[in-house]
A and B are shown apart, each in its own frame.
Chain A
Amino acid sequence: AQSVTQLGSHVSVSEGALVLLRCNYSSSVPPYLFWYVQYPNQGLQLLLKYTSAATLVKGINGFEAEFKKSETSFHLTKPSAHMSDAAEYFCAVSRPPGGYNKLIFGAGTRLAVHP
């Protein structure tokens, strides 16, 4: 079985501060990992993905995440928060073909950015 845990349901940062959203996974085999963002009343948008290539993955809007197998983590970071980054962020995990094809989501972290 595989799952993903997001630490912290709410994170609040000041504009210009570092954003760090935490995600830990459990999987019996190397997983594929994803971060999605959801703005109010919208669907989920893919920020970035790790699919067993480079462990440091760069995404859209200045976000990046690093896959650390030893820590079973895939934390999302952004050096400087903007007001427009306020949204809910979801970490998700799946396993390549040969296993099941589902994308399993974490509970989400709501990011607030204040002036």
Chain B
Amino acid sequence: DAGVIQSPRHEVTEMGQEVTLRCKPISGHDYLFWYRQTMMRGLELLIYFNNNVPIDDSGMPEDRFSAKMPNASFSTLKIQPSEPRDSAVYFCASRPVDGNYGYTFGSGTRLTVV
């Protein structure tokens, strides 16, 4: 099992540009989560999906952020337009529905908006 795969590992973009972060969860995992990690705010849950359906997006900071999960093996987090304060490490995580509530995290995408 390759684990949760995120791409790209690093992204540097200019303010105002659109940024798309990608995640492939572990096969068979029914839940997918997007987290953001910053020094100031720690780990924040942005949104999570169950069986490809967004369940809770209350952590999405602004309308500039959107997330989709078109199928069980792929999710995207998009920021449009990006701002310097969006600079952070974005993690994707997945877990199965079988009662084991430990998540498996990807290695993250380090986003820098200049």
Q: Which A residues contact B (CB, under 8 angstroms)?
A: 32, 34, 36, 41-46, 49, 51, 90, 94, 96, 100-108
**Which residue from chain A places its CB closest to the CB of B33 in the assembled complex?**
A103
Among the listed A41, A102, A104, A107, which residue makes an inter-chain contact with B56, where contact means beta carbons less than 8 Å apart? A102
Q: List 29 A-B contacts (CB under 8 A).
A: A34-B102, A36-B105, A42-B107, A42-B108, A43-B4, A43-B91, A43-B105, A43-B108, A44-B91, A44-B93, A44-B103, A44-B105, A46-B102, A46-B103, A49-B100, A49-B102, A51-B100, A90-B43, A94-B101, A100-B56, A101-B48, A101-B55, A102-B45, A102-B48, A103-B33, A103-B45, A104-B45, A105-B42, A106-B42
- Cα separation A44 to B43 with both chains bound (whole Å): 11
Determine if B25 is an interface residue (Cβ-Cβ < 8 Å).
no
Give a binary string over B56-82; 1 marks a CB under 8 Å from any A CB, 0 the rest. Answer: 100000000000000000000000000
Provide the residues of chain A in CB contact with B42, threshold 8 Å: 105-108
Task: Tell me whether chain B's interface is mostly helix, strand or loop, or mixed.
Answer: strand
The answer for the CA separation of A56 and B108 in the assembled complex, in Å, is 31
State the interface size on chain B (CB cutoff 8 A). Answer: 22
A102-B100 Cα distance, complex, nearest whole Å: 13
Residue among B43, B45, B104, B105 with most chain A CB within 10 A: B43
